[in-house]
Chains A and B, each alone.
Chain A
């Protein structure tokens, strides 16, 4: 996508001063309302986040995040390192529950079900979401067993079902042709890119409603990255995808919506095209063009 910045964005000194104050205000700890584009109001939300706060012990990592994740679309989370992207992502499937001293406030809903409701079983919740990590983490078992792991823990024994899921997931992750002859080999013998695609296959094996991806390509070479981006493209529509990325080109290429975060706050959120071509805030412009971050 050819990124050209529109004329009417305030690039003049005055705008810069006025907008530059926004990040400075965030840094001072002031509350700054997020700039959310209207296009989002027309989408059906798969996930609704409202006034979500999270603390690691005494340190607050997320401040008053309110946003929706549109159903069937790819949403990218961008922002400088340590701004809370992973934390937000891991909050969605309650993986942060495993970290000692985590405290949350606010609400996160799938449909009208509150994720952090006491009655919700975190295990059931995670079964409805697939997650792909920054560092690929195949399990120490065969390729086959890796893919069907989510079914295995549900107690699925039927060989036909497992075989079918294995093939479908591996095809879905564009890995089938490469590994179909060695499904019983150790997954740890695969290359880095293959391992990551295997993790994607595992994440989609149980047919989740949502796919959470935390910088899935940051440890991969360009060819492997390409494959995974193609894959995300193919999965679009079938899944709601929330992806964290450091790579602006990737966000621009793969996502439908982009959220820019800074120091635990949502700064600007809108359609990817708008964020990259006509951001409302100069900070977003600076960030997506690599002038800061």
Chain B
């Protein structure tokens, strides 16, 4: 009996007295089919995982790579300039073919015949949304009369309206004339400005390839032709021609962007700080009001306590008035700084012409990045690719999240996952300790265990509903009424926030931690516990000093699984605090630094939002893959960190050999 059973499961039993059958007709007779099946299963599983990762990686990694700009001229006269987003095959309607000019019809037919009725077409990202109302254009090969890559085609990423494709025609640099015009007489003012403009023009002097114009209303005129009655707002230096314009762009863009960044800092941090101060004073006042109301309710308006509260309220009012005046002054200072920066930046402009001949002037401050797509060397391409990744990882999103970076989402995801782990691990470990070490085994404990396991199977959206109902509406509102009454009716904790989201996910992942911890506890050898007891340790000492450290790698496994599950979960978050655009990060420089009540951005939700909620889903699609890639990378990074920590721990517990 033992002889045949040692001969591996699934294998054929040995024929008594005979050698093993080598009959090729009977696979079952000589192979080990179970092993083959296992192999096939493993390969399938690996193929699916690698396929998924590979697909996301391939789609995500290429999105930010700068591609050349193509200009196509169609038979029907339309001209498009842009980047090819993707291509496919389709079966064109007969009417489309017949609308072509005769020579083109012939070629189109030939192409269709060669491909069994299928034609090739490309989706061109044409941008210039404010001019054309379209972001993309399908172009079939047979429609094209002419196709080229113009050397001066610029790809421009802007703060508004999405990308712009066009060729630069001129660079304009304005010099304002009004600085010294301090008089109330309009005629005198005009004269002074004109004089100032002439002085500027004289200072600028002559330079090859550059013309000087006076900006007088909508018309820009040569200095000699300016009428003495015109109001000259500025003197414009103009570099004509793509090469000269591009050279000037490169010269000035950095400084302009620097000023723009400074402006954003002022708007974001300084304004935020002032707002915060003002809000704090308002809340202090409101608190006094509430206190007075309560005291009047309780002990009457005439009581001495009410009088004291009223005096305190008066003080707070005075304090608020003072803060209000101060903050108002600070606001004005910041605003004037911002206005100065804007005015300075408005001096630099790039004039462009689109493929269909329309003119457009873009201020340099509006341009995030521009490059002549068809002139790039590999190095330059790489530099653009790198700078795009940097922007993607470190910047705030803009244009309804479709452009810019996802830093707040990365931050939100990581912070939420960390808070979740910090919550779920202690809870799960305590629960498992009780179940495994303290509770007397019996039907009650068994049913608790079954319930915990079933919790893992509850759809995650149910947890979201629970989190919203219990944490936000019940606990949160209670907290608000107790501690943040002055902010009501606007909720503080009584709505979605990163704390509630983390708690909800902690609940969701609790079974994973409990089950893993129980297993780890059960795996601690009894001899170790006995050794500890024999030294005179109490039960708790044994658990804390021997059992828990020894079970730590297993507990970490539970934490890793919980993290992987929690970081990728989106559905419940949509109910308890993840938002499309969070104005502030949950951690910042304003006391108390950690703001667990704030709503937050989350990569998973960001993906959903990009892919399915944006108006321009075609442009968003590549970003979906890039963001997915990022999410996977972050989860992997979090897990790898935990795994490294665990393997460090494991090494400590490795038993020596005899």
Residue of A nearest to B527 (CB): A137
Q: Which of A83-132 contact B (CB under 8 A)?
A: 93, 95, 98, 123-127, 129-131
Query: Which residues of chain B from 538 to 597 have any CB-CB distance to chain A below 8 Å in the complex?
Result: 538, 541, 545-546, 549-550
User: Do A131 and B653 form a contact, CB below 8 Å, given A152-B545, A191-B658, A192-B658?
Assistant: no
The reply to whether B533 and A95 contact each other, CB–CB distance below 8 Å, is yes
Interface contact B535-A95, CB-CB below 8 Å: no
Tell me the bound Cα distance from A124 to B530 in angstroms.
15
A150 in the interface (beta carbon within 8 A): yes
CB pair A153–B549 under 8 Å, yes or no, is no
- B217 interface residue per 8 A CB criterion: no
Contact of B525 with A by CB under 8 A = yes
* A153 contacts across to B, CB distance below 8 A: 535-538, 541, 545
The answer to whether the Cβ of B528 comes within 8 Å of any Cβ in the partner chain is yes
CB distance from B520 to the nearest CB of A (A): 12
Which residues in B have their C-beta under 8 angstroms from that of A221? Answer: 658
Q: Which of B530, B535, B655, B656 contacts A98 (CB 8 A)?
A: B530
Quick one: given A123-B538, A135-B527, A153-B541, are A98 and B533 in contact (CB under 8 Å)? yes
- Any B CB within 8 A of the CB of A149: yes
CB-based contact A186/B533 at 8 Å: no
Q: Please report which residues of chain A, range 212-256, place their CB below 8 angstroms from some CB of chain B when the two chains form the complex.
A: 221
B531: Cβ under 8 A from any A Cβ: yes
A140 at the interface (CB under 8 A from B): yes
Q: Is the CB of B527 within 8 A of A150?
A: no
A residues contacting the other copy or chain, number (CB 8 A): 35
The smallest C-beta distance from B651 to any residue of chain A, in angstroms, reads: 8
Bound-state Cα–Cα, A129 to B536, Å: 9
| A-side contacts of B654, CB under 8 Å | 186, 188-189
Q: How far is the CB of B545 from chain A (nearest CB, A)?
A: 7
Residue of B nearest to A151 (CB): B535
Q: Is the CB of A189 within 8 A of B653?
A: no
> Across the interface, which residues of A come within 8 angstroms of B535, CB to CB?
126-127, 130, 149-150, 153, 202-203, 206
Instruction: Please encode chain A, from 129 to 145, with 1 for each CB lying within 8 Å of some chain B CB and 0 for all others.
Output: 11101010111110000
- Residue of A98, A124, A127, A140 ringed by the most chain B CB atoms within 10 A: A140
Q: Is the CB of B533 within 8 A of A188?
A: no
What is the distance, in angstroms, from A163's C-beta to the closest C-beta of chain B?
A: 19
Query: For residue A191, which residues in chain B have a CB less than 8 angstroms away from its CB?
Result: 656-658
Assess whether A199 is interfacial by the CB under 8 Å rule. Answer: yes
Does A140 contact B546, Cβ atoms closer than 8 Å? yes
Q: State whether B550 touches A140 (Cβ < 8 A).
A: yes
Q: Across the two chains, which residue of chain B brings its CB closest to A192?
A: B658
Given A153-B535, A191-B658, the answer on whether A140 and B527 have CB atoms closer than 8 Å is no
Give the interface size class of chain B. 20 to 34
Interface check A284, CB cutoff 8 A: no
A188 to B535, CA, bound (A): 18
Specify which of B534, B546, B653, B656 lies most central, judged by the most chain A CB atoms within 10 Å of its CB: B534
Residue A190 at the chain B interface, CB threshold 8 Å: yes
Inter-chain contacts of A258 with B (CB < 8 A):
none
A195 within 8 A of B: yes
Which residues of chain A come closer than 8 Å to B532, judged between CB atoms? Answer: 139, 149
Chain B positions within 8 Å of A203 at CB level = 534-535
Quick one: CB contact mask for A39-76 with B, threshold 8 Å, 1 for yes?
00000000000000000000000000000000000000
* Distance of B60 from chain A, by nearest CB (Å): 42
The closest CB in chain A to the CB of B549 belongs to A140
B147 vs chain A, min Cβ distance (A) = 70
Residues from 366 to 387 in B contacting A, C-beta threshold 8 Å = none
Identify the closest chain B residue to A212 (Cβ): B534
Partner of A186, one of B536, B538, B652: B652
Q: Closest Cβ of chain B: how far from A147's Cβ, in Å?
A: 11
Please, how many angstroms separate the alpha-carbon atoms of A127 and B535 in the complex?
A: 6
Known A188-B654, A189-B654, A195-B656; judge A126-B536 contact (CB<8 A): yes
| Shortest Cβ distance from residue B438 to the other chain A in the assembled complex, whole angstroms | 14
Q: How far is the CA of A124 from the CA of B651 in the complex (A)?
A: 34
Highest count of chain B CB atoms <10 Å: which of A95, A129, A137, A202? A137
Give every chain A residue within 8 A of B657 (Cβ-Cβ). 191
B527 x A133 contact (CB < 8 A): yes
Whether A127 and B536, one on each chain, are in contact in the complex, defined by CB atoms closer than 8 angstroms, is: yes
Which of A125, A133, A135, A140 is B653 in contact with, Cβ under 8 Å? A140
In the bound complex, what is the Cα–Cα distance between A206 and B549 (angstroms)? 23
How many whole Å from A227's CB to the nearest CB in chain B? 14
CB of B258, distance to nearest CB on chain A (Å):
54
Cα-based distance from A98 to B534 in the complex (angstroms) = 11
List A contacts of B652 (CB < 8 A): 140-141, 186, 188
Given A140-B653, A153-B545, A195-B656, check contact A133 B531 (CB 8 Å): yes
Contact with B along A184-206 (1 / 0, CB 8 A): 00101111100100010011001
Smallest CB–CB gap between B105 and chain A, Å? 82
**Complex contacts, A195 vs chain B, CB 8 Å:** 656
Q: How far is the CA of A186 from the CA of B656 in the complex (A)?
A: 9
Kindly state the separation between the CA atoms of A184 and B74 in the bound complex, as whole angstroms: 79
Residues of A within 8 A of B546 (CB): 139-140
C-beta contact mask, B615-658 vs A, less than 8 Å → 1, else 0?
A: 00000000000000000000000000000000000011111111
On chain A, the residues within 8 Å of B545 by CB distance are: 139, 149, 152-153
Q: Are B531 and A186 in contact (CB under 8 A)?
A: no
* A221–chain B nearest beta-carbon distance, Å: 8
Q: Which residues of B contact A188 (CB under 8 A)?
A: 652-656
Q: Which residue of A lies closest to B655 (CB)?
A: A188
Write 14 A-B pairs (CB below 8 A) sorted by A numbering: A123-B536, A125-B536, A126-B536, A135-B527, A137-B525, A153-B541, A153-B545, A154-B536, A186-B651, A188-B652, A188-B653, A188-B656, A191-B658, A192-B656
Question: B-contacting residues of A (Cβ < 8 Å)?
Answer: 93, 95, 98, 123-127, 129-131, 133, 135, 137-141, 149-150, 152-154, 186, 188-192, 195, 199, 202-203, 206, 221
Using A133-B530, A139-B531, A186-B654 as known contacts, list a sample of 15 further A-B pairs with CB atoms less than 8 Å apart, ordered by residue number in A: A95-B534, A98-B530, A123-B536, A126-B536, A131-B531, A133-B527, A140-B546, A140-B549, A141-B549, A153-B536, A153-B537, A186-B652, A188-B656, A189-B654, A192-B656
